Amino acid sequence: MRIALGIDYDGSAFHGWQKQPGGGTVQDALQTALSRIAGGPVAVVCAGRTDAGVHATGQVVHFDTAVERPLTAWVRGTNSFLPATVGVRWAQPVAEDFHARYSAYARCYRYLLINEPQRSGVWQGRTGWYHHPLDADRMQAAADLLLGEHDFSSFRAAECQAKSPVKTMRLAAVRRAGKLIIFDFEAGAFLQHMVRNLVGSLVYIGQGKHAPEWMAHLLQARERRLAAPTFSAAGLYLAAVRYDAHWGLPASDDALLPALSGLGGSDP
């Protein structure tokens, strides 16, 4: 039997998603909890691996098991053995040919950035921060240039193992809500550090260091050294994973993204 799970987690204290010999990853924690419910080893496959410090509100995983358990056991039972910063949101039996990674047709990432002179103590680890004023309209003009199919080598980590740097960006949106700037990206797949590198370059444009057209120059150059430094992992969320309706999975919902009370409202 193949089971799909929707999970969310605060990645602040984890060494990323991917299982490591020394432990301390989200995959380690989830597999340990599921194995206690199954009464034997369970291995999970995720829709998108996240780096250390990166969060998720819409991660999807699947695993195979020969044991029969009610869906509540895979949700509430597993949660009882997980750290408080990881939660199973739903469980759903799926067809044997479903694959959390390869059956997905898109991933959605959101970056939350507090834009004010002083850093926040309350939102430390859950948002990025930039002290100089940023122009969201300039950043959106640059983000528009990311839409469509491009070679994103200028925004690719040196250790990225993706077979091709060419990706198709379906959504690139930047908006301000009071002191908060929200970046949304949707693509079929992303390169390692791609979103954080894009945010870094958009911030340079928002500050006025470069014109929005600089983004087109970076895409054409295909040189990582020309783009801005990688931005903090703290504000990055895997917000949703998209699947065709025939798989019967619950619809993606970003309602669980941090409300950040007091940061919205009128522009400062």
Catalytic (active-site) positions: 51
CA of 35: how far to CAs of 10, 84, 100, 154, in Å?
21, 18, 19, 41
Compute how many other C-beta atoms are within 10 angstroms of the C-beta atom of residue 140: 19
9 neighbors 25 (Cβ within 8 angstroms): no
Closest CA to 18 of 46, 59, 41: 46
According to DSSP, residue 13 is labeled G
Q: What is d(CA 68, CA 34) in angstroms, rounded to the nearest whole number?
A: 13
Amino acid at 257: L
CA-CA-CA-CA torsion sign (46, 49, 55, 57): negative
